């Protein structure tokens, strides 16, 4: 198998490498986030859809995250494994991991599509789509077409980190950018000109996803560092197990977010019905629509945070595999500082400019209750966003070092123990406001745990005990 050398990952300046790999990854994830966000902006500003369509988009969003969770488990796990293998000169294992990632993505995406099409009604009900009839109908319409596009969406998302691991972060960025551009162009055509409503929004998204997937297929036929062969596509359990183990943190961080969103959506539906304003049929969808907007803004911020951290995975993996703990430690420090700065900028926006954000999502077409609740949601729900950014960066960096157990435990504590637990508990005492309090409380407690793990990791890096890489896999 013919290879090119990635040794520059162990010699070039850390700051330059971070910029080279992180920036394209940030842009890729930001553009990927725009798929759903752009849909919601156009839907919210269509007077025949409005907050009903907005709420429907919020209902379907967690179901797209499930697909993303599986895709990033495969893609990020492959990216980390390939990078570690390249640092240890295990080129054949790197190639097999990439091939297995392609095969298992196709299998999982087809199965998930079938599940979505068969159980669409039950899934929509599970994520709070029964807040009123209009929201439910719009949710079903939107979800059907999104389900049809799941194989393309998952393939494009899974291959993005794989392409970065092969040494082509710019192509990964361009492929995602091309798909999002198609979506942005088609959304107003289908929603406003053709009046296709939720179907139009979904079709614009799916067509964009097809473009991204097609570019990923092209790249796999013209790889830069690792030349794929047909034999690499055959599933090898030992390789697949290690790949998915390294990616399990990415999966759990996303899938546990789905659990948190399910809890939040249902608590909004339950306690919104007990609210003196939102108990009325015409206003019932407002809390779900407003919280959905807050989550979309948070998704933009987290796309930057995850992009900066995930973009560093090839650098971390290579230097971990090569035993360069000094470079790993320096990169960790730079990353944490950069993530804190992103969180600080986001904090200023959510605390001082929430009304301006709400206006982008069609506030002019809604009642004053829509704007009032949305502004409060921004200021309360995201008041500890600095901690959220640093926490997420720590999870991903630990994963890249091969510390899957520590990364997974932190992620599970944040999203399941705290995220779901407080989303269910606090509304009992504080009603609808309790849903908003659940986010900052969870981030504060997670920050305490993360601080302990970060300190321990620094000590291990200083004593030369950072890597948890396993020996080369044999028996191919």
Q: What is the pLDDT of residues 407-424, one digit of tens each?
A: 878 888 888 899 999 999
**CA distance linking residue 285 with residue 266, whole number of Å:** 12
pLDDT of residue 108 exceeding 60, the answer is yes
Number of Cβ within 10 Å of residue 303's Cβ equals: 22
How many percent of the chain have pLDDT more than 90?
Answer: 41
Tokens of 437: 């309090």
SS3 of 465, please?
coil
pLDDT of residue 373 exceeding 80, the answer is yes
Mean pLDDT of the chain: 87
Higher-pLDDT residue of 47 and 354 is 354
pLDDT of residue 116 exceeding 90, the answer is yes
**CA distance linking residue 41 with residue 338, whole number of Å:** 29
Higher-pLDDT residue of 204 and 79 is 204
Q: Which residues pair with 3 in a beta bridge?
A: 226
pLDDT (average), residues 127-139:
89
State residue 260's pLDDT score. Answer: 82
The segment with the largest mean pLDDT, out of 163-172, 202-211, 295-304, is 202-211
State residue 5's pLDDT score. Answer: 56
pLDDT (average), residues 112-128:
94
Estimate the crossing angle of helix 150-165 against helix 169-188, to 10 degrees.
150
pLDDT of residue 1 exceeding 70, the answer is no
Residues in the chain: 476
pLDDT of residue 406 exceeding 90, the answer is no
pLDDT of residue 84 exceeding 90, the answer is no
pLDDT (average), residues 245-261:
78
State residue 6's pLDDT score. Answer: 63
Block residue for tokens 């620094």: 458
Report residue 225: phi and psi, to 5°.
Answer: -100, -40
State residue 318's pLDDT score. Answer: 82
The segment with the largest mean pLDDT, out of 56-60, 89-93, 223-227, 313-317, is 56-60
pLDDT of residue 189 exceeding 60, the answer is yes
pLDDT (average), residues 163-173:
86
Number of Cβ within 10 Å of residue 474's Cβ equals: 7
pLDDT of residue 335 exceeding 70, the answer is yes
pLDDT of residue 32 exceeding 90, the answer is no
Number of Cβ within 10 Å of residue 284's Cβ equals: 23
pLDDT of residue 197 exceeding 90, the answer is yes
pLDDT (average), residues 264-281:
88
pLDDT of residue 165 exceeding 50, the answer is yes
* Residues ≥6 apart with Cβ < 8 Å to 465: none
Estimate the crossing angle of helix 14-44 against helix 325-352, to 10 degrees.
30
Band of residue 27 on the pLDDT scale cut at 50, 70, 90: confident
State residue 461's pLDDT score. Answer: 83
Band of residue 201 on the pLDDT scale cut at 50, 70, 90: very high
Higher-pLDDT residue of 346 and 303 is 346
CB–CB of 472/88 below 8 Å?
yes
Higher-pLDDT residue of 43 and 403 is 43
């Amino acid at each position: 198998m013919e290879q090119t050398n990635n040794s520059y990952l162990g010699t070039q300046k850390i700051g330059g490498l971070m910029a080279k790999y992180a920036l394209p990854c940030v842009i890729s994830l930001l553009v990927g986030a725009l798929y759903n966000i752009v849909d919601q902006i156009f839907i919210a500003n269509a007077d025949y859809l409005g907050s009903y369509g907005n709420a429907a988009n919020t209902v379907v969003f967690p179901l797209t995250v499930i697909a993303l969770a599986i895709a990033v488990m495969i893609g990020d796990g492959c990216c980390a494994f390939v990078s570690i293998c390249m640092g240890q000169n295990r080129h054949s294992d790197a190639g097999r991991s990439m091939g297995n990632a392609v095969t298992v993505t196709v299998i999982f995406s087809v199965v998930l599509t079938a599940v979505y099409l068969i159980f669409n009604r039950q899934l929509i009900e599970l994520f709070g789509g029964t807040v009123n009839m209009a929201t439910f109908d719009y949710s079903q319409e939107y979800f059907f077409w999104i389900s049809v596009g799941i194989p393309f969406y998952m393939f494009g998302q899974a291959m993005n980190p794989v392409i970065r691991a092969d040494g082509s972060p710019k192509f990964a960025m361009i492929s995602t950018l091309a798909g999002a551009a198609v979506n942005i162009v088609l959304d107003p055509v289908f929603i406003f000109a053709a009046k296709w409503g939720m179907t139009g929004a979904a079709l614009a998204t799916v067509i964009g996803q097809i473009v991204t997937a097609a570019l990923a297929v092209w790249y796999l036929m013209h790889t830069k560092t690792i030349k794929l062969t047909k034999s690499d596509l055959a599933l090898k359990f030992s390789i697949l197990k290690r790949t998915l183990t390294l990616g399990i943190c990415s999966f759990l961080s996303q899938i546990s977010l789905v659990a948190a969103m399910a809890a939040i959506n249902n608590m909004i539906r339950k306690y919104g019905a007990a609210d003196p304003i939102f108990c009325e049929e015409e206003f019932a969808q407002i809390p779900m629509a407003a919280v959905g907007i807050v989550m979309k803004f948070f998704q933009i911020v987290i796309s930057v945070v995850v992009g900066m951290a995930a973009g560093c995975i090839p650098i971390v993996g290579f230097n971990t595999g090569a035993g360069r703990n000094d470079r790993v430690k320096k990169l960790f420090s730079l990353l944490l500082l950069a993530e804190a700065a992103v969180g600080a900028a986001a904090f200023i926006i959510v605390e001082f400019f929430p009304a301006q954000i709400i206006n982008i999502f069609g506030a002019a077409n809604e009642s004053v209750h829509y704007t009032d609740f949305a502004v409060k949601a921004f200021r309360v729900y995201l008041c500890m966003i600095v901690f959220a950014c640093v926490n997420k960066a720590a999870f991903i960096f630990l994963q890249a070092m091969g510390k899957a157990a520590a990364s997974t435990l932190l992620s599970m504590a944040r999203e399941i123990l705290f995220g779901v637990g407080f989303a269910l508990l606090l509304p009992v005492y504080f009603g609808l406001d309790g849903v908003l309090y659940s986010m900052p409380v969870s981030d504060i407690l997670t920050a305490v745990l993360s601080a302990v793990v970060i300190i321990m990791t620094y000590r291990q890096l200083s004593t030369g005990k950072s890597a948890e890489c396993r020996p080369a896999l044999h028996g191919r």
